[in-house]
């Protein structure tokens, strides 16, 4: 291998599979999924990978798509490439061509049997809300905002009613493409510090807008408009009209998937430390 990280004349001839952990501030992009105008996180990443590999056309598969304005702390993707570099070079080289609000955090060479989406055991999200009479400034586009105090104990109680396997149709966007509304929620923990409230959720999979719709209901409960038990009625209705309006994407963070330990992939990135609580 030469000093730049490239293999010399003895480079293998087949392709190898690479997994990347990617963090991004999603405010400037129309979500993860590639679109014709090219202003998505996937488009920017694939463009950078093509530049780093000197023109190789690389398509990426992600662990979980995110909507417009949603942030990612450890989106995991995989792709196959005929370009051979060491893992550190994939990180540094790709980041050279990425915009400042997207950065590869780690790279791993993985077996061809690894699949960023199919191999994931669970997916994790966090939602950050600032409850204060003054709108966010330093946290603009990074937190949801409600200008009244919230009864966080009631919100925490309500969130626990959602644990387990349920039909989450009441929290599903009309454009959701999931074949089934039945998902399993493993964690729904609410914490708060000062004006900041954080909801951590983990499940096997999520519906389109599911977490933002859950947060909309929790906000109504926190404002005293509904009781904590009301969220059980919403869940049982299996009807989107029974739930509160969809809350802002600004405070939603995809923390990333979890995988079996035998894949040897990181569970977190330094970006995790950027969130309050």
- How many Å apart are CA 272 and CA 53, to the nearest integer? 29
Residues 172 and 209: beta-carbon distance below 8 Å: yes
Residue 162: both structure tokens together: 């959602």
The catalytic position among 9, 37, 43, 67 is 67
Residue 246, C-beta contacts closer than 8 angstroms, at least 6 positions apart:
173, 209, 212, 213, 216
Cα atoms in the 13 Å half-sphere on the side-chain side of 99? 16
- H/E segment holding residue 51: helix 41-52
- Which residue bears the tokens 């955090």? 105
Collect all residues with Cβ–Cβ distance below 8 Å to 208 and sequence separation of at least 6. Answer: 67, 172, 173, 175, 176, 177, 178
């570099």: which residue's tokens?
85
* Catalytic residue list contains 67: yes
List, by residue number, the catalytic residues: 67
């Amino acid at each position: 291998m030469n000093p730049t990280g490239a293999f010399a004349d003895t480079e293998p001839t087949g392709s190898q599979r690479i997994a990347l952990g990617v963090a991004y501030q999603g405010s400037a992009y129309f979500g993860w999924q590639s679109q014709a105008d090219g202003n998505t996180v996937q488009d920017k990443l694939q463009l950078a990978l093509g530049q780093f590999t000197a023109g190789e056309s690389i398509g990426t598969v992600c662990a979980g798509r995110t909507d417009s304005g949603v942030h990612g702390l450890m989106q995991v993707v995989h792709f196959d490439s005929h370009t051979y570099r060491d893992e550190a070079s994939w990180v540094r080289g790709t980041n050279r061509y990425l915009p400042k609000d997207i950065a590869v955090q780690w790279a791993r060479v993985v077996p061809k049997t690894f699949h960023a989406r199919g191999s994931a055991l669970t997916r994790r999200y966090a939602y950050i809300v600032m409850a204060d009479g003054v709108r966010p400034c330093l946290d603009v586009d990074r937190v949801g905002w409600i200008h009244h105090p919230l009864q966080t104990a009631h919100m925490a109680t309500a969130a626990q009613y959602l644990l387990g396997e349920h039909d989450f149709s009441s929290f599903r966007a009309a454009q959701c493409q999931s074949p089934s509304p039945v998902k399993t929620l493993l964690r729904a923990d609410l914490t708060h510090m000062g004006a900041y409230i954080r909801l951590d959720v983990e499940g096997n999979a999520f519906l389109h807008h599911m977490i933002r719709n859950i947060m909309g209901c929790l906000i109504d409960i926190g404002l005293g408009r509904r009781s904590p038990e009301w969220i059980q009625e919403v869940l049982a209705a299996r009807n989107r009209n029974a739930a509160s309006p969809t809350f802002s994407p600004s405070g939603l963070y995809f923390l990333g998937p979890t995988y079996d330990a035998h894949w040897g992939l990181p569970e977190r990135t330094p970006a995790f430390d950027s969130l309050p609580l």
